[in-house]
Chains A and B, each alone.
Chain A
Amino acid sequence: MEHQVISLSSISTPKNGVNLEDIMQQKAEHQGCGTQGGSGKASCGSSAGQGDLAPEIWEKVKNHPCYSEEAHHHYARMHVAVAPACNIQCNYCNRKYDCANESRPGVVSEKLTPEQAAKKVLAVASTIPQMTVLGIAGPGDPLANPEKTFKTFELISKTAPDIKLCLSTNGLALPDHVDTIASYNVDHVTITINMVDPDVGAEIYPWIYFRNKRYKGREAARILTERQLQGLEMLTERGILCKVNSVMIPGINDGHLVEVNRAVKSRGAFLHNIMPLISAPEHGTVFGLNGQRGPSAQELKALQDSCEGEMNMMRHCRQCRADAVGLLGEDRSAEFTTEAVMAMDVQYDMETRKSYQALVEQEREATAAARKAEMETLAGGEYSDVKILIAVATKGSGRINEHFGHASEFQIYEASSSGAKFVGHRRVDLYCQGGFGDEEALETVVIRAINDCTAVFVAKIGGCPRGALEAAGIDPVDRFAYEYIEQSVIAYFREYLDLVRNGTVTHGQRGDAQIRQGAYTAA
């Protein structure tokens, strides 16, 4: 297969946007996914596709970098920190820093006024046409700062009506603001729901501040869960998309999250994102200090798998740092400091943005076509139960285009006779900080992070790391350099099955892997 590099400047733009919508719809249909949810999931292969989502929901989220892994490489989101106050206390949070759920522990975002925030968003959007989503997620709770949050939305929707607005909240104040949210045309709301049982909640939330009173323990958790579920119901009644985030805290809510999954699904949440607890003593959180551990990669995957039959799971969330600006893997936030933004003369150009976005759609079509062609060559037969995990070093565009030593994360694909399925990320962003790897870190960080994988796909790899990987039983593969990921995963899997068939390789389960602590810093 030849490398086909699609240059954005060489493609002509489609005459109108209607075509694209049609194509996306057709693509969604012939992927053969039911729209009702259920167990036919594996045949839906990829995170890039519609999965079990209803067409009208897919239409809304397909270009949203937080909801579609593939979109994450073409479209960007940004957050502005206009909401410093919070109305609850979480044991995984250190109030000195940003919310550890939506952001990177230990980071303090620059506080902005709504006017500053609006100008920053417009400045970024006119410089980076990929910027399509604005989120308000903290550092506190956006709905504990309703004036600032809604003022920001108002200013942005006036000048840039094409930017999607999102909001993340703990849900305590949500029922009071649903109508305002609906009036601003906010179509995505994320609620962090870690429990539906006050006894579990009492272990996570020491207190809440509600209706001019501080509540503690079980009572606090009871009020919180009632408000969260009520808010969720009110949003879905009004047709506003609702995602639920849960932090998986082993020994506290890990088993219970299956129940949370059922509760939020029945109330209309369209996605459930289970994230690992990020916890280290240096974060100064209650959980960090009392030694509460986060889950391992296999524990997280097992829980996500057990919830998957119930509804869509979101596996590609990297817990990006909230202040990043730009596409995945490129942080341009340094260009957009408050000082620089205030000095800019911002011209918002909707036409340039539209034509860029049309080109992106063509590139996405090409990736989908390559995947389909490869799928047709795969027949499972007696090996239909065999599954392997493959780690991929990529900078985006759905290709294997990153050097092993430069990767700040690996995408993990599960290969089976039903295709290539994206199942998550493993971050290794502390390895190779000086631009070259040192063997200690390679051993300890990368191999531990991808230890459950059979192979790792890279664009290039040096001799030393190659040897170390082979010694650890992981196959370093550079022959698919610059090819499409999913197509290559399927091709590799087919070869793997041949080796198993002729007895060269014995298929067996690999071990567990570790989740790196700390939010994703490279985006």
Chain B
Amino acid sequence: MTYKIVASQCTGCSACEPECPNQAISEKNGTFIIDPAKCTECIGYFDEPQCVAVCPVDDTCVLDAAYPRYSA
């Protein structure tokens, strides 16, 4: 799977963008989006997904069930 950002909750604070080890996050129309092709759920880099850890709004960076779990 990959993480996605719930656009209606994102404040556009940009905190997640520089923390992603895969540069998967970018700004689009004032909120941020994750490129599912680049997100590795932070596996291989950190113990916890960085976007989830830094995001000030709970349940805004969430697993996207539309994709299978990532495997390295």
Q: In the bound complex, do residue B12 and residue A212 qualify as a contact, i.e. CB atoms below 8 Å apart?
A: no
| Chain B residues bordering chain A, tally (CB within 8 A) | 16
Give complex CA distance A90, B61 in Å: 20
Q: Is the interface of B mostly helix, strand, loop or mixed?
A: loop
Q: In the bound complex, do residue A212 and residue B56 qualify as a contact, i.e. CB atoms below 8 Å apart?
A: no
Q: Which of A81-89, A181-189, A237-245 contacts B (4 or more CB under 8 A)?
A: A81-89
Q: Is A213 an interface residue (CB 8 A)?
A: yes
The one of B11, B15, B52, B57 in contact with A87, judged by C-beta atoms closer than 8 angstroms, is B15
Q: Is B13 an interface residue (CB 8 A)?
A: yes
Q: In the bound complex, do residue B54 and residue A87 qualify as a contact, i.e. CB atoms below 8 Å apart?
A: yes
| Chain A residues bordering chain B, tally (CB within 8 A) | 16
User: Residue of B at shortest CB range from A144?
Assistant: B15
Give complex CA distance A357, B69 in Å: 64
Q: In the bound complex, do residue B54 and residue A209 qualify as a contact, i.e. CB atoms below 8 Å apart?
A: yes
Write out, one digit per residue, whether chain A residues 137-153 have a CB within 8 A of any chain B CB (1) or not (0): 00110001100000000
Q: What is the minimal beta-carbon distance from B27 to any residue of chain A, in angstroms?
A: 10
Given contacts A212-B19, A212-B53, A214-B53, contact A86 B48 (CB under 8 A): no
Given contacts A89-B56, A209-B54, A212-B53, contact A84 B48 (CB under 8 A): no
Give complex CA distance A89, B54 in Å: 10
Give complex CA distance A209, B48 in Å: 11
Q: In the bound complex, do residue A209 and residue B14 qualify as a contact, i.e. CB atoms below 8 Å apart?
A: no
Q: Is A466 an interface residue (CB 8 A)?
A: no
Q: Is A265 an interface residue (CB 8 A)?
A: no
Q: Is A354 an interface residue (CB 8 A)?
A: no
Which residues in A have their C-beta under 8 angstroms from that of B14?
84-85, 145
Give complex CA distance A89, B15 in Å: 12
Write out, one digit per residue, whether chain B residues 46-61 have a CB within 8 A of any chain A CB (1) or not (0): 1110101110110000
Q: In the bound complex, do residue A140 and residue B54 qualify as a contact, i.e. CB atoms below 8 Å apart?
A: no
Give complex CA distance A213, B11 in Å: 21
Q: Taking beta carbons and an 8 Å cutoff, which residues of A are in contact with B?
A: 84-87, 89, 95-96, 111, 139-140, 144-145, 209, 212-214
Known contacts A111-B12, A212-B46; 11 further A-B pairs (Cβ under 8 A): A84-B13, A85-B18, A85-B54, A86-B15, A95-B13, A95-B56, A144-B15, A209-B53, A212-B50, A213-B47, A213-B48
Q: Taking beta carbons and an 8 Å cutoff, which residues of B are in contact with A?
A: 11-15, 18-19, 46-48, 50, 52-54, 56-57
